[in-house]
Amino acid sequence: MFGNWMKTGLLMAAIMALFGTLGLALGGRQGMLLALLFGGATNLWAYWFSDKMVLRMYNAREVDAASSPYLYNMVKELAGRAGLPMPRVYIIDEAQPNAFATGRNPEHAAVAATSGILQLLSQRELRGVMAHELAHVKHRDILISTISATVAGAISMLAQFGMFFGSRDDDRPNPAVQLLLAIIAPIAAMLIQFAISRAREFEADRGGAEISGDPLALAAALEKIHAYASGIPMPAAEAHPETGQMMIMNPLSGGSLRGLFSTHPETAQRVQRLRQMARN
């Protein structure tokens, strides 16, 4: 666990380094300082508010035991098994089957499921998925994933509007280099997200299987989601591709350029590991 936190810390530091490098390229020393300040402010803002922002992006609506007893009581039972406080529960009115968790810590966590996943999966399979999301909460992955999504989006915005960094320094590269860096920086941020998300998805699969006590249910759910999700677009995810790594399955369509940079391990690998857990 300590090794994972060290790795994540280094990767988040790399994202901050991207802010500085992009700022230097677009605005010299003054631009680098402004970019680092912007990056620090973005991290601080993301710590407190990114979960609310992401839930708004997906038009998630909060439910309770009265409005959605099936999902709410399932999450309550699993949270008790995991020794976690009861998170807030949301439904996203999207046909694509998917789910995610967000929040800065277990005491301020939320889990969200699409209406598509509620319709597609059996009760046993859905239990496996929600246990996976609660494993993210238990491992305190949710803050890292939400902040990395927010910061990656900020890097893309900074790259697009970087020419507004006015500077009197003479140490800025020529416009061709500036343009190249403005293209490369968001891609680099996405690749860093890929590295952050990949290991954590495997760990959440393992943790979710332990919480639910049913590795094969999560394996079956992943196979179903994989079969359906790629053919059903999710407009909110396409509009905010940096949030895709928060989902249990990559929500981006294959036609999207950013869909090529999947932040998730291969579904077959995940299923194989879960089946191996069931055999042991």
| Residue 100, beta-bridge partner list | 112, 247
E-strand ranges in 165-247 read: none
Please say if the pLDDT value at position 7 is more than 80.
no
Strand 109-114 relative to strand 88-92: parallel, antiparallel, unpaired? Answer: parallel
Q: Is residue 37 part of a domain?
A: no
133 has catalytic annotation: yes
Domain that holds residue 85: 49-149+185-279
pLDDT attached to residue 168 = 47
Closest CA to 220 of 117, 128, 118: 128
Q: Tell me, what CATH number does 205's domain have? A: 3.30.2010.10
pTM of the model: 0.77
Q: Which residue has the higher pLDDT, 182 or 71?
A: 71
Q: Is residue 218 part of a domain?
A: yes
Mean pLDDT (whole number) for 199-205: 88
Q: Is residue 154 part of a domain?
A: no
Other CB atoms within a 10 A radius of the CB of residue 162 amount to: 20
Catalytic one among 94, 125, 133, 201?
133
